[in-house]
Structure 1
Amino acid sequence: DAAKRGYIAYTNCTSTLAEVVPFGGKSPTLGTNPHSWGFPTVEALGYPVVIDWATSTIAMGRVEQFKREGKELPPGCGVDAEGQPTTDPHKIKALLPFGAHKGYGLALLNELFGAAIGGSPPTLRGRAERAKAAGEKSTSAFFFQVIHPEAISGAAFSRGRSQAENIAAVLRDIFGHGNEDCMLPGTIEARAAERCDKAGGLLFSEAEIRGFAEVAEECGQDAPDWTPETFPVAE
């Protein structure tokens, strides 16, 4: 939302769950340590460029999605209980950092940066009871930053261009030179939001609808109509 209003926005956080194996290791000691960037490109693109991802190859929620849909994971996403690589979502016990040592370094950076600003990292991740007994912190720390570009820019751009015109020029260059089919971070999400707006509501897969019914049943709620056949199909 900040990016839509013309600001550059950034956030990251520490993790309380031990879900990610450090590069070269076998046991999870890091979290997914996500971070997000948002850039004000609405004037140039119609939507903000948003980078919002975990520093693991995939998020644990995506593993659950692959379970529901009965699909194998791409190679290099996670390891089993023995620390061995696997593509079976039912055997995944921990995730791997994206980009090997580079993703690991970024995860550690996010952990330390979020902790330094947000009030220390949890020292016993995924071990809430032990942390409580030891008097240790077991909650996440967050860092948020919002920058107003006009407040720190002298606006003395080449050829008298505005910042929005500079951004548009950069994007035109990215999509030139035979790169017309490339996408930007946020493109898929913007298209999905457009489809949802057109359909008049959120769109879910058949597997997700069945999953909602299962959760309702587990919670003791009656959801007899929660089947794919009872929902309208978007074009």
Structure 2
Amino acid sequence: MNDVGSLRERLIDAGVELVLAEGSASVGLREIARRAGVSHGAPRRYFPTHHALLSAIAQRGFADLGARFQQAIAGTASPRAQVRAVARAYLGYALECRGMFELMFRHDLLDSDRHASGERQLRESSVPLFEGVVALVARCRTGQDDPASAAVTAAALWANLHGLAQLWAWGSLQLITGATAGGSVDVGGGVDGEESLDRLLAAVLEAHLGPVPG
């Protein structure tokens, strides 16, 4: 990698570390430059706008999430089990990497038409993940050949998972279900918390995919 590419990646690395440690609201060009060990003006040479830098950082998040999806479904045979594995990976990522999760789905970053630049657009990173979920949902819907219907179901499922992740991260669902909060970050905490989250996830999948085949 040349020096330009190396410094660009170093700036993104610093941004990722900052988001994971302190949340997306903490991301500023000066702090990223300080962490990367470069001048305050250096980020502007590679990212013409703050938006471009945030998008590049968020793309790392989608790459990480995509890798987790692939790892989750490896060795999993049935489409239904693969959807559940992907859903679990999604919830785990949301709870483990909250700052990055929030950044990745900011509408002002995903609405790339409003922020045209030479950078790869964030939406190009998010769409393939959604298309993968659509394909899995379609495989679960034996005998239903309507691609548009599968896309709608996948979108509703994704939205439900996103809401579940957010409400669990805020502690709202723990209050309703009486689950234990705290402890393990990948499931939301505690044995009771894990069991409660699993039951909620099962209900989400059944609502959108139907009962588990007997």
Same structural fold, with TM-score higher than 0.5 when normalized by the shorter chain:
no
Band the TM-score falls in, shorter-chain normalisation:
under 0.3
Greater share of helix: 2
The structure with higher relative contact order (CA 8 Å, sep 6+) is 1
- Structure whose alpha-carbon radius of gyration is higher: 1
